[in-house]
Structure 1
Amino acid sequence: MGSVSKVYFTRTITPEQVVKMFDTLGKKLDGKVAVKVHSGEDGNQNFLRPEFWRPMVEHVNGTVVECNTAYDGARNNSEKHKKLIKKHGWNDFFVVDLMDEEGPDVELPIAHANHLKSDIVGKNLLNYDSMLVLSHFKGHPMGGYGGALKQLSIGCASTAGKVNIHSGGKLTKTDDQAIVWDNHAEQNAFLESMAEAASAVVDHFHGNMVFINVMKNLSVDCDCCAVAEDPCMQDVGILISTDPVAIDRACLDLIYKSDDPGKDHFLERVQTRNGEHTVDAAAEMGYGVKEYELINVD
């Protein structure tokens, strides 16, 4: 990883522009390509629809991948999640691989972790040679914001993996192996655990990754919220990079530099959760840098 990463940026938000940005980046994704998306919680109005992502997914001949959640809702087991994926139209265009639909989960090693012993992911992750991470950049009730690092960590983790991250590595199971979410880590430990889990996925793919963040429907709430607040800012644009740390840092900086009156509300969500600490922790682990060159694309 160099001392400065390239992040490409455009203010034009269309499905076709996403593809143009990918081609501008010029990074080839080899082999079988996993395309990580957020399928959207039932009732959420802000998630990016499959129609928006379709040209990009088809451009890399990718397989859409998702994982089950760890909270009550329409996505916390495979049967319900697959029904919602169909309801939201993902199956109209793609075969969707629910990576933790069937166990056993696999554990990815983490180098120099302070909280997690490993990152627990669905076993189907091992079926892919590269990954395209498609992130809807927005706020988040617990992490402060959601972008590439959250997609890598919480997004790629199985149900057990999500609980492991939220608990700061203190995942417990009952005698019948049921997952118990009975504790939540101190906030910074949780954010650092996200950074650690993200590092495991990056290391697993050995650089065969591309990250796209779309700054659209900028709500303070995540796409995992069934009842989400409406967007508080105007759309900003699309960013793409091979560095998950730089791209998230660039998105946050664009919020700070914006003259949109809704930015204070958005930043209040980020700052009260100390969300930028995830970026700092990831940079300290060395799989990305906070310094970047923002390259504008028409």
Structure 2
Amino acid sequence: MPAKATKPSKVYFADTRSRAAKESKIAKIAKLFKAAGFAKLIEKDALTAVKLHFGERGNDSHVSPVFARQVADAIKAAGGKPFLTDANTLYSGSRFNAVDHLVTAVEHGFGFAVTGAPLIVCDGLTGGDLREIAVKGKHFKKVKIAAAVAGADAMIVMSHFKGHEMAGFGGAIKNLAMGCAPAAGKREQHSPRFGVDAKACIGCAECFKVCPAKAVAVKAKKAAIDKKICIGCGECMTVCKSKAIVIDWATDLPPFTERMVEYALGAVKAVHGKAGYLNFALNITPDCDCCSWSDAPIVPDVGILASLDPVALDQACFDLVNNQRGLAGAKLAANFEPGQDKFKGVWSYTCGEIQLSYGEQIGLGSRAYELVGI
């Protein structure tokens, strides 16, 4: 974990241009791994988690298994023993338990033949394998981290940088927070309770189909949410085309984001700070890879970035994305001009910057960075 910054954290950057094999994205991943000093995190025979998101079935914007292979190979070259890992989901889908999760991962190309590393679902068969890690946060004194993450000697976190309907954006911080938490930890992070605007509801029942807590009922062609049962995961909002799902964003979202950041800190503490981070600012979609689809990107591809500091890394990605001109024809509804917050242009009620400001406040990392091209 980065110490309190006295100078900007280094963030290494590779753009997307290639005119030769040595300039390919594959070659650039190896260069970024070396430049960022990830090999120094890995001792001989270190069990090294490669924290990924394998993508919900139907999603194709997740990080490529071919890219995961480059990281696995670099870990082996450093003397470590890599394994690819993610935690089961809170919602019912193709990654709700370890059996379905591994089937989905293999279907998406993450088998050993492609990646050269075994697959392990880090919170076990049904999400019950966890360890409690102490943090000194506003919301938590202890957080629940998936056992295989907490048991790893080191971790390389590979994140697709993209939008998110509650967090604003998802990058290294969100991958640490939600991605390293078992179901119980995900529930602790989520707390908003959703309602339904009956006038807007068209009775399609898509929210009913995805609710993991069975908190949604559809009567007289209108959905209703039982707030006593609702766990606040937000899946209903993701699939609602008529925007009938409502929440008090100003009250509920800031503490949700802070809880998420405290969980990210717990994940880093679980591996004793031995973590490196790669963000893939490619195919920058409006939604998380938990969706069973991939929408059109909201800005052109930016590149691949690496750092030992997750806050600086996400800050750099956030800045580079927002410095782009928004793409017409995407979900982006506002903030098309360079310098404007593209994620607010998609999800107007979110404030992704809370991830960065609160992350710096609690010692997860620094917002100050030096961008170093390779």
How high is the TM-score relative to the length of structure 1?
A: 0.89
* 1:225 pairs with 2:250: no
Identity across the alignment (%): 34
Question: Bigger CA drift: 46-55 or 116-125?
Answer: 116-125
Question: Are residues 36 and 125 of structure 1, via their aligned partners in 2, closer, same or farther at CA, if it must alter by over 3 Å?
Answer: same
Structure 1, residues 121-167: CA drift from partner, whole Å, max 9, x if none? 22222331111000111111221111000011001111111111112
Answer 1 or 2: higher relative contact order, Cα 8 Å, separation at least 6: 1
Distance in 2 (alpha carbons) for counterparts of 1:250 and 1:281: 16
Distance in 2 (alpha carbons) for counterparts of 1:204 and 1:41: 26
Question: Are residues 181 and 213 of structure 1, via their aligned partners in 2, closer, same or farther at CA, if it must alter by over 3 Å?
Answer: farther
Alignment: residue pair count = 286
Which of 159, 163, 183 is the aligned partner of 1:139?
163
Instruction: Give the CA deviation at 1:256.
Output: 2.1
User: What is the match of residue 157 of structure 1?
Assistant: 181
Distance in 1 (alpha carbons) for counterparts of 2:84 and 2:324: 33
Structure 1: gaps of 5 or more residues = 174-179
Structure 1, residues 14-49: CA drift from partner, whole Å, max 9, x if none? 122111111112232222211101100011121122
Question: Bigger CA drift: 122-131 or 266-275?
Answer: 266-275
Instruction: Give the CA deviation at 1:105.
Output: 1.9
Q: Say whether the 8 Å CA contact 1:140–1:269 is kept in structure 2.
A: no
User: What is the match of residue 247 of structure 1?
Assistant: 313
Structure 1, residues 259-282: CA drift from partner, whole Å, max 9, x if none? 354673633136531111111111
Instruction: Give the CA deviation at 1:86.
Output: 1.7
Q: Say whether the 8 Å CA contact 1:143–1:270 is kept in structure 2.
A: no
How high is the TM-score relative to the length of structure 2?
A: 0.72
Instruction: Give the CA deviation at 1:53.
Output: 2.0
User: What is the match of residue 65 of structure 1?
Assistant: 85
User: What is the match of residue 176 of structure 1?
Assistant: none
Instruction: Give the CA deviation at 1:210.
Output: 0.7
Distance in 1 (alpha carbons) for counterparts of 2:157 and 2:281: 14
Spell out structure 1 runs of 4+ moving beyond 6 A: none
User: What is the match of residue 18 of structure 1?
Assistant: 29
Q: Say whether the 8 Å CA contact 1:116–1:165 is kept in structure 2.
A: no
Question: Are residues 146 and 43 of structure 1, via their aligned partners in 2, closer, same or farther at CA, if it must alter by over 3 Å?
Answer: same
* 1:29 pairs with 2:41: yes
> What is the DSSP-based 3-state SS (H/G/I as helix, E as strand, rest coil) of the residue aligned with 2:41?
coil
Question: Bigger CA drift: 209-218 or 250-259?
Answer: 250-259
* 1:193 pairs with 2:259: yes
Return the letter of the residue paired with 2:257.
L
Distance in 1 (alpha carbons) for counterparts of 2:300 and 2:146: 36
> What is the DSSP-based 3-state SS (H/G/I as helix, E as strand, rest coil) of the residue aligned with 1:186?
helix
> What is the DSSP-based 3-state SS (H/G/I as helix, E as strand, rest coil) of the residue aligned with 1:120?
strand
User: What is the match of residue 96 of structure 1?
Assistant: 119
> What is the DSSP-based 3-state SS (H/G/I as helix, E as strand, rest coil) of the residue aligned with 1:15?
helix
Instruction: Give the CA deviation at 1:192.
Output: 0.2
Structure 2: gaps of 5 or more residues = 17-23, 77-81, 193-212, 214-227, 233-250, 337-341
Q: From the CA coordinates, give the structure whose radius of gyration is larger.
A: 2
1:1-298 matches, cutoff 5 A: 1=3, 2-3=5-6, 4-12=8-16, 14-27=25-38, 28-30=40-42, 31-61=46-76, 62-91=82-111, 92=113, 93=115, 94-102=117-125, 103-111=128-136, 113-167=137-191, 182-184=230-232, 186-261=252-327, 264=335, 266-267=342-343, 268-269=345-346, 272-297=349-374
Distance in 2 (alpha carbons) for counterparts of 1:8 and 1:83: 34
Distance in 2 (alpha carbons) for counterparts of 1:143 and 1:155: 13
Instruction: Give the CA deviation at 1:183.
Output: 3.9
Instruction: Give the CA deviation at 1:222.
Output: 1.0
Aligned-residue RMSD, C-alpha:
2.1
User: What is the match of residue 196 of structure 2?
Assistant: none
Distance in 1 (alpha carbons) for counterparts of 2:101 and 2:158: 19
Distance in 1 (alpha carbons) for counterparts of 2:29 and 2:147: 29
Distance in 2 (alpha carbons) for counterparts of 1:269 and 1:206: 36
